[in-house]
Amino acid sequence: MLNKVTLNIGEDNEVICEVINASKLNLRFSSVVIPLYEDDNVISLTIGTGRLSLFDELIIPVDSKINSIYKIKKIEKLTDRSYIVYSSIPTKTNRFILPLLSNKAVTREYFLYDTFFENAYIGVDKNINLNIYTDYPLVLLYRYSESEIYRKFETRIRNHPFFLKTYDVNKHQVLFIFDVGEYAIDIELFKQGAYSQLSEQLKKKIMEFYGFLDGGTVHQILYRSPKLKEQLEIELGGFIKPTSELYSRPTLEEEIYYE
């Protein structure tokens, strides 16, 4: 994936766009930028008489042959002239369920996680007919490329034992669908936000897939750490029951892919 391009946004024709990954761009402006906020979230950027807003589209080359569309779902301020824009907001499925597909050989690199991978979901909008027969799909969204590395990825991922099919969203994005019904109990626990009750097998996969450290935040969430509980009680100014989970439960609508 290409790293940097120059864009014309509003009256600034020297915007440096650094492609961080398939869902995240770093925009560095040479002109003054005025952000507009709503509920503490940036919803648009004004550059002279021009504007960049949520749900606008940026056309970015992802390799030497393909231009791809990044539809903006989130804008995050870094500095007065530097902003991160997201085409997908990372789901909890991404963190807690995607590692179900992993093993010692099937790693982040196997999935091109830091390049062409965008996001993970536990289902799709009911208006999308995938024509699959599983109650527990795992749906991975990718940014399409004609590069050799992507072609090799497509070949190997089709050989994954849980792989079902692909679905072309558009010319720029592809869904890869897997059947994770074997882990139905873990999926149901995840939906309830019962992270500490996930199977030991899944907990280990999560830690290894992302390289999380023992004692780190995710480890403390998975094992319901008394230290994290105490920290949250201080931050929230209240008592947390010993049986309570230490991380917010998924908003299921956000764990579903919508076109």
**One-character DSSP codes across 21-54:** ETTEEEEE-SS--EEEEETTEEEEEEETTEEEET
| Domain stop point among 86, 102, 128 | 86
Range of the domain at 63: 4-86
* Closest among 191, 199, 188, 251 to 222, alpha carbons compared: 199
- Same domain, yes or no, for 233 and 160? yes
Q: Letter for the amino acid at 83?
A: Y
- Average pLDDT score over residue span 27-43: 94
User: Based on the domain organization, do 48 and 132 belong to the same domain?
Assistant: no
251 shares a domain with 195: yes
* 118/219 same-domain check: yes
* Residues 102, 220 share a domain: yes
When pLDDT is cut at 50, 70 and 90, the band that residue 211 belongs to is very high
Pick the more confident residue, 209 or 2.
Answer: 209
Domain boundary among 86, 109, 129: 86
Q: Are residues 158 and 234 in the same domain?
A: yes
Whole-number pLDDT of residue 12: 84
Residues 149 and 248 in one domain: yes
Domain tally for the chain? 2
User: Confidence band (pLDDT; 50, 70, 90) for 209?
Assistant: very high
The pLDDT, as a whole number, for residue 71 is 93
CA–CA distance, 162 with 105 (Å, rounded to integer): 15
3-state class of 227 per DSSP? helix
Distance CA(17)–CA(5), nearest Å, equals 5
pTM: 0.92
Of 68, 86, 104, the residue that ends a domain is 86
pLDDT band, residue 1 (cuts 50/70/90): low
pLDDT surpasses 90 at 23: yes
Instruction: Give residues with Cβ within 8 angstroms of 179, minimum separation 6.
Output: 132, 134, 136, 137, 138, 162, 164
pLDDT surpassing 90 at residue 65? no
